[in-house]
Structure 1
Amino acid sequence: MTTKIIALVDALGNLVRFVLRPGQAHDLQGVKPLIEGVSFGAFLGDKAFDANWLREELENRGALAIIPPKSNRKIQYDYDEAAYCWRHLVENYFAKIKEFRGIATRYDKTDSSYTANLNLVAALIATR
């Protein structure tokens, strides 16, 4: 059994919200509940988040889509490569939570206990 964590972090690399998904599910499936009700000026994501519906949603919100296009996309969108460099904050956050062995190896048997432990780890990281 695998679990995928889809996380939304702010400009300082602090966790705003996360969603748990099955490991075999695509990352894009967790985006809609993740960004629902959250206001932001730009969305930084990797190529996995390159979808027409997400780009339209971000445009309707007035947010910049800083997402590199997939190589097989017919229309290659431009993106701000300098701003995309800040996506490392998301990767840094995942490196921080993986310092906690129970999160990295997913010892918890249920999603609710894993979510509780992930919230606890997020609180510990925020107090550092």
Structure 2
Amino acid sequence: MGRSRGGLMTKIHAVVDADDRQISLELTAGQAHDNRMAEPMLQDMRQGAILLADRAYDTNALRDLAKEKRAWANIPAKRNRKASFPFSAWVYRQRNLIERFFNKLKQFRGIATRYDKDPRNFLAAIKLAATRIWIRSFESTP
């Protein structure tokens, strides 16, 4: 999809819920910045949600979107930011849910090694794997 010095690269963008199940998945070129997909993917954010993201997502536009949706953006401020924002380190620890989701996703060999050259096929494979992860989350519940 995208080309860099290392070859063809693709970024997977995901929004997950509190049970580390995917809400939405998208692909972009590897050299594209993460913020490009953040706003379109968060348009369906519910009122009162908590948005957890890393420093790369610290933009005024994303914070304004969260305020518009009446959600709390718990994003650490970039080091060059002049303004300060409310931030809870304890709540931020829950961001490991997205890391756990990607770890589960990478357990699928076809996703980890990216056999598909066509981005649509690769996204379809990611969505199938994510669906299996979603179904597995209900297997262990009583």
Q: Which runs of 4+ in 1 moved over 3 A?
A: none
CA distance in 1, matches of 2:132, 2:44: 25
Counterpart selection for 2:55 from 34, 38, 47:
47
Counterpart selection for 2:114 from 106, 112, 115:
106
**Larger displacement relative to structure 2 (5-14 or 101-110):** 101-110
Give how far 1:80 is off: 1.4
Give how far 1:70 is off: 0.6
Give how far 1:102 is off: 1.2
Give how far 1:39 is off: 1.7
Counterpart selection for 1:93 from 89, 101, 111:
101
**Larger displacement relative to structure 2 (1-10 or 28-37):** 28-37
* Aligned counterparts, 1:105-124, within 5 A: 105-124=113-132
Corresponding residue of 1:11? 18
RMSD: 1.1
Give how far 1:27 is off: 0.6
Q: Is the 8 A contact 2:25 2:127 kept in 1?
A: no
* TM-score of the two chains, using structure 2 as the length reference: 0.86
Number of aligned residue pairs: 128
| 1:25 pairs with 2:71 | no
Helix, strand or coil: the match of 1:18?
A: strand
CA distance in 2, matches of 1:6, 1:87: 14
Alignment gaps of 5+ in structure 2 = 1-7, 137-142
CA distance in 1, matches of 2:53, 2:121: 28
Task: State the one-letter code of the partner of 2:40.
Answer: P
* TM-score of the two chains, using structure 1 as the length reference: 0.95
Task: State the one-letter code of the partner of 2:133.
Answer: I
| 1:83 pairs with 2:91 | yes
Give how far 1:76 is off: 2.5
CA distance in 2, matches of 1:80, 1:96: 27
When Rg is computed on C-alpha atoms for both structures, the one with the higher figure is 2
User: Which string of whole-angstrom CA distances, capped at 9 and with x for unpartnered residues, describes residues 41-80 of structure 1?
Assistant: 1100000100011101111110000100011111132311
Aligned sequence identity (%)? 40
